[in-house]
Structure 1
Amino acid sequence: MSLTANLSKVPQFKEIVAAIAPKKKDFKTASGKNPFSKEYETLVPYTLENPSDASLIGTAFDYLARFRIAQIINLEMSFKELVAYNGLKKLQKFTGDNSLEDKYYSTIQKDIDTFIKGEQSLNNEVCVTALKLANLERYSRANILAGVSETDIFDIQRKDTLTNELNGLMNTFEEKFIGSGFIKTDSKVVFNPHFGIASLLVDGADADILVDDVLYDFKVVKDVGYKSADVLQLTGYFLLNKLLKEIEINYGVSESLPFDDIEFSKICLYKARFGECEYFDFKDINEQDIRAALIRLAEYFLNNPDKTVKYTMLKAHPGYDLEEYDDALRSIVDSN
């Protein structure tokens, strides 16, 4: 099960994460306004008539924001490293059209490179490319194998409305996020950071973006209220990263497994329609409480193993020793 599914369907898992999750009153905002409040000003009104377009806009905005950040830090981005690329491979496989990658790969990569390397300003062409990537990513993550066509992915419907929304969101992002100095030319940035073994235990969890010591989650929502599900997800990432460090570094298990060597204590929700950043620093929580939650999480994975996930993990990484992993978890539990 994914991290989201664990949080929504497994009470024990949710309780462990909730034990250190910040409450509404614990957050602060970059603007100084009360977090999650009606003090926020709507800078990009919601104009979408088709409900399904909301998630499409959210994912497309994520891509455009990443492109703009990559432009600032002078970072090349490969289409093959994006989740959307998995969608293209999946579409090619299940439509049986083996020409799709040849047809679309170079064009999409060129559009990405032209924007990032050319230091161009945002334009509708880049917005349409982001929408195509968003369609591919949604398809990649969906439990759908057949019934989706090339046209469904690459023929963008309601193009004018969608590109207008994206332009508004990115103009606000430029002013409120980029303009506030959250991204510097020498910032350490990790797109879609994941947490090695710990991520695999929740079916490959990956977050939005890490900038220096802050884990950001970009939200294109039309309401400003506090949502515990969003906060629990970010807290879950924080705990998974803590667990990874314990296993990979302190116990030296499966050091060859790929993971992003990251450290962070701060989480932040960026509300794109309002240009507001709501943040919390886990350094404000008692270290003993965090340690207790970490031990409980290790115990949960040790005593409630998901056989399917473990099998998949072993199959993908044949050099991985499951017994060593269990010993590492047991050592964490026994350290209590």
Structure 2
Amino acid sequence: MSLTHIIRTDMPLRALLKQVIRKPRWTRPTIKVFPVSTRASLTGTAFDYLLRFELQRRFRGTPIEHGWWIAKMAAPQVPKKRLSKQFIKEAEQQVDFYSRGYFDTVEMAKTCTVLAKFDFVYRAGWADPQWLVTDEVVAEELLELLEVVPFEAFQPKHRLTLNPTFGEGSHWVGGADSDVMVDGLLIDLKTVTKAELSLDELRQLVGYGVLARLGGIHIVDSPASQQKVNVELESLGLYYARHGHLITFDLDDLVIEDGWELLEDYFLTHYASTGKNVSDIAAGD
């Protein structure tokens, strides 16, 4: 079970989300980075990592909250555990150097392609046969995606939270985590070719909003626990990475009046008592 699975299969919830969401008018942006690799999921997950590491580097003077990587929690589950743990240790050193400007972006991108493979083990239980081999094609694509990021839109005034989770909210749905939170703006990254602002994308985004409102913002500080971050959800955003375009929504503009309360009541009624173990907090999304 995960938030994605719940939104896809819970028909009454899908109907309720459709009822309360206000789909805004917008101008579809032009694609800037076309896909080269055929491994879309790997590219998306690897870019999640690379963008977070780049934000750490660029905004290192700002308070930054980040916990354990999903890849680190996956290390004991992949083949050849000793090699896996050694890779994660070296990757952590690389990120530390990178955040201080002492490590090459190209090499960082290559490392991210392997971290993404670890994620798949944790989230889906599938191990890439070449799980420690960098994907050069994907790495090149990550660098192109990084070039079109409007970093001024990601610059925090007070706090940057990387890979936030939602406390008990994540627990209830068997695993949910988002990508980036800039002050009170929670952002979901998309590496899709078509920026459609689809209803399903908005359902997922609003789902994150509900969990954040109910459970608060946290980071994973060990495989079995989360630490609350002193930040409140104020707005939601979708970042279309191939288009270099971030669209943001005030909470009250995205749903109808009383819409958040209706959704919160639904989650509390149907999911608050059915969550998995805390160790599964980020396994699903």
TM, length-normalised to structure 2:
0.83
Output the amino acid matched with 1:106.
K
Output the amino acid matched with 1:295.
D
Larger Rg: 1
- Contact 1:194–1:260 (8 Å) recurs in 2: no
Match of 1:44, SS state, is coil
1:333 alignment counterpart: none
The 5 Å alignment of 1:1-336 reads 1-23=1-23, 26=24, 28=26, 34=27, 37=28, 40-48=29-37, 50=38, 53-74=39-60, 81-91=68-78, 95=79, 97-118=80-101, 123-144=105-126, 148=127, 152-157=130-135, 159=136, 161-173=137-149, 177-178=150-151, 180-184=152-156, 186-244=157-215, 258-284=227-253, 285-301=255-271, 305-306=273-274, 309=275, 312=277
- Contact 1:131–1:156 (8 Å) recurs in 2: yes
Match of 1:153, SS state, is coil
Structure 2: tracts of 5 or more residues without a match? 217-224, 281-285
**How many residues get paired?**
269
Name the Cα RMSD after superposition. 2.7
Task: Measure the CA separation in 1 of the matches of 2:25 and 2:154.
Answer: 18
Distance 1:295 1:171, change over 3 A: same
Task: Measure the CA separation in 2 of the matches of 1:257 and 1:59.
Answer: 21
How far 1:263 moved relative to its partner? Answer: 1.6
How far 1:187 moved relative to its partner? Answer: 3.5
Output the amino acid matched with 1:270.
Y
Task: Measure the CA separation in 2 of the matches of 1:218 and 1:105.
Answer: 23
How far 1:261 moved relative to its partner? Answer: 4.2
The structure with more helix, counted as a fraction of residues: 1
TM, length-normalised to structure 1:
0.72
- Contact 2:237–2:248 (8 Å) recurs in 1: yes
- Cα offsets for 1:201-231 (capped at 9, x unmatched): 1012111111112111111111122322221
Q: Percent identity?
A: 25
Structure 1: tracts of 5 or more residues without a match? 29-33, 246-255, 317-336
How far 1:27 moved relative to its partner? Answer: 5.1
Task: Measure the CA separation in 1 of the matches of 2:165 and 2:86.
Answer: 30
Match of 2:164, SS state, is coil
- Cα offsets for 1:150-199 (capped at 9, x unmatched): x6211124x1x2222111111111xxx21x34314x44111121111121
Where relative contact order (Cα < 8 A, 6+ residues apart) is larger, the structure is: 2
- Contact 1:67–1:116 (8 Å) recurs in 2: yes
- Contact 1:17–1:239 (8 Å) recurs in 2: no
